[in-house]
Amino acid sequence: MHVTGTAPRPAPAPSETPAAPVGDPQGSPSRHARRFGLPVATALVMGNIIGGGIFLLPASIAPYGTVSLVAFGVLTVGAIALALTFGKLAARDPRTGGPYVYARGAFGDFAGFLAAWSYWITTWVSNAALAVAAVGYLDVLIPVSGHRWTACLAALVIQWLPALANFAGTRYVGAVQLVSTVLKFVPLLLVAVGGLFFFDPSRLGPFNSSGQGAIGAVSASAALLLFSYLGVESAAVSAGEVQNARRNVGRATVIGTAGAALVYLLGTLAVFGTVAHHRLIHSTAPFSDAVNAMFGGNWGGWAVAIAALVSMTGCLNGWTLLSAQTSYAAARDGLFPATFARRRRGVPTTGVAVTVVLASLLTAYNYLSGSGRVFEVLVLVTTFTATVPYLLATAAQLFHLVSGRSASVDRGRLVRDAVVTSIAAAFSIWLMAGAGYAAVYQGALFLFAGVLVYAVMTARRHRTATPATQATPVAPVADGHTP
């Protein structure tokens, strides 16, 4: 049953050949446009999941003790379940758009719009947050934070460089994503693997130092870790640019999520075992402290700062593409302005431009207003808006499973798929609950503001689609008195 009162435009079958994108004459391939293979699609997932937060993560969860590693394990199970669900959905419908496509196909235009709208908000607000955080790491190498204009300019440059890579075409987007993912993993793996040789159990500290029960400690530390896995949908959102998407999107999503989880767990465990617990709680650069503890000297801060900058640049590169792909998919179906459907060199250029401009304005406002409070609230909102498309996508998978349509369900795997999807749905709800009351309240306001946008776009579609009906009055129904 569709949410809207009128029947939505039917989505094309997954087997249909998509129309040539606007801006790509005759759909002819460009030497700057290249479909992503499995390695690049996997790098997109891993690069977007692992941003700059991992470089502070061990210190953030250290106050809870090593019980936080249990929370990591629980969350990893949920993230893998979500990854498997996206793989199944992409195999059914391998078009660009990810959660938007799945929600619209199952529940109609309105649900699809909510998925696209909330995800689009998440991407460009997150980009602004990443750029501001990156300036903090840049300040270790080049002092820029002493003056707000200098810091603002640095944040804008950090945002626009990945945007320029997107404008250059998918060929360059993929290259930047692959290189940045490889470079960011070098220092992370150095700590994760090398730290095991310097591991000292006496530095781990107590199992539970939170002052509450084990279950409460797991839940509390999980609230800090919940959003470490945002980005698991990356390959699904860009499915239209992935070679053999029906197969590779699922593989890239699972491999990328599992790889990110492995780095998270090993890296955090290595830091716990190389930096004394009482020092780690107050550390502002835990990976730097771990490197210094392993090899001596003070060069760890520089190494981690460079790794964090590379990591965040890769994230910005990937999230900019995902933002543009989401708005492109919605515009292709008439739910976003048509200009978002324009593509050049395989990239929705209008979406890239709007994303980087909105993120830049938010960044500039953050620095020039002299207060980060509004910015902090907006960043918190993204923790809610990011989970809306997750929940809608898992609901779409449950819809296909419960509906029992032979074309959509492999009955031999029905029970397994239902269990996996249920875990993914619970994980999505847990993500939403972990955002907190304030984030859910503010996020709901952003979500409902989108309803007004949807009303305008739907009205324009109806006006364009039915000019004859509007021009010709309908004959009155005979009432028995008409001669």
Residues 156-178: tens digit of each pLDDT: 999 998 888 888 877 777 777 77
Give the relative orientation of helices 245-274 and 170-197 as an angle to the nearest 10 degrees. Answer: 30
pLDDT category at 358 given cuts 50, 70, 90 is very high
Contact yes or no for 80/287 (Cβ under 8 A): no
∠ CA 82-58-195, rounded to 5°: 105
Checking if the pLDDT of 126 tops 80, the result is yes
Contact residues for 21 (Cβ-Cβ < 8 A; gap 6+) = 27, 328, 341, 342, 343, 348
Q: Is the dihedral of CA 240, 243, 249, 252 positive or negative?
A: negative
Q: Which residues of 216-245 are buried (b: 16+ CB within 10 A; e: fewer)?
A: ebbbbbbbbbbbbbbbbbbbbbbbbbbeeb
Q: Is 99 in contact with 236 (CB distance < 8 Å)?
A: yes
Determine the Cα–Cα distance for residues 27 and 33; give it in Å rounded to an integer: 11
- Round the average pLDDT of the chain to a whole number and report it: 79
Q: Which residues of 268-306 are buried (b: 16+ CB within 10 A; e: fewer)?
A: bbbbbbbbbbeebbebebbbbbbbbbbeeeeebbebbbb
By three-state DSSP, how is residue 194 classified? helix
Which residues does 307 contact at the CB level (< 8 Å), separation at least 6?
55, 183, 184, 186, 187, 188, 287
Answer whether 41's CB lies under 8 Å from 86's CB.
Answer: no
Helix 67-92 with 245-274: angle, nearest 10 deg: 170
Show Cβ contacts of residue 456 under 8 Å, excluding neighbours closer than 6 positions: none
Over range 189-210, report the average pLDDT: 82
110 has pLDDT over 90: yes
Average pLDDT of the residues in 410-431: 83
CB-based burial label for 475 (10 Å; 0-12, 13-18, 19+)? exposed
Run of H or E residues at 479? none
Of 159 and 435, the structure prediction assigns the larger pLDDT to 159
- For residue 63, which of 262, 277, 275 has the smallest C-alpha distance? 277
Average pLDDT, integer, range 393-415: 75
- Residue range 20-37, pLDDT digits in tens: 333 343 334 455 555 678
Q: Which residue has the tokens 């579609």?
A: 461
For residue 342, the cross-strand partners are 22
Q: Is the dihedral of CA 263, 269, 275, 281 positive or negative?
A: positive
CA distance linking residue 359 with residue 379, whole number of Å: 12
* Cα–Cα distance for residue pair 383/100, rounded to 1 Å: 18
CB count in 10 Å sphere of residue 157: 13
pLDDT, residue 411, reads: 62
For position 33, what pLDDT does the model report?
Answer: 53
Look at the block and give the residue holding tokens 């490197």.
Answer: 291
Mean pLDDT for the stretch of residues 284-312: 78
With a CB cutoff of 8 Å and minimum separation 6, the contacts of 156 are 131, 360, 363, 364
For residue 280 the two structure tokens come to: 């780690």
For residue 133 the two structure tokens come to 């955080």
| Ranges assigned E (strand) in 297-353 | none
Task: Give residue 466's pLDDT.
Answer: 63
SS percent in the chain: helix, strand, coil, step 5: 75, 0, 25
Task: Report how far apart, in Å, the C-alpha atoms of 213 and of each of 67, 210, 220 are.
Answer: 10, 8, 10
- Packing angle of the helix pair 286-295, 245-274 (nearest 10 deg): 60
129/119: higher pLDDT:
119
Residue 103 pLDDT exceeds 90: yes
- Rounded Cα distance, 447 and 440, in Å: 10
- Run of H or E residues at 477: none
Q: What is the pLDDT at residue 133? A: 80
- The predicted pLDDT at position 82 comes to 92
* H or E segment and range at residue 482: none
Q: Which amino acid is at 312?
A: M
pLDDT of 423 reads 93
The predicted pLDDT at position 467 comes to 56
Residues, the chain: 483
Q: Which two tokens stand for residue 458?
A: 């739907």
> Other C-beta atoms within 10 Å of 342: how many?
18
pLDDT at 255: 93
- Min mean pLDDT across 9-18, 52-61, 82-91, 210-219 is at 9-18
Higher pLDDT, 104 or 296: 104
Compute the distance between CA of residue 260 and CA of residue 277 in angstroms, rounded to an integer.
Answer: 24
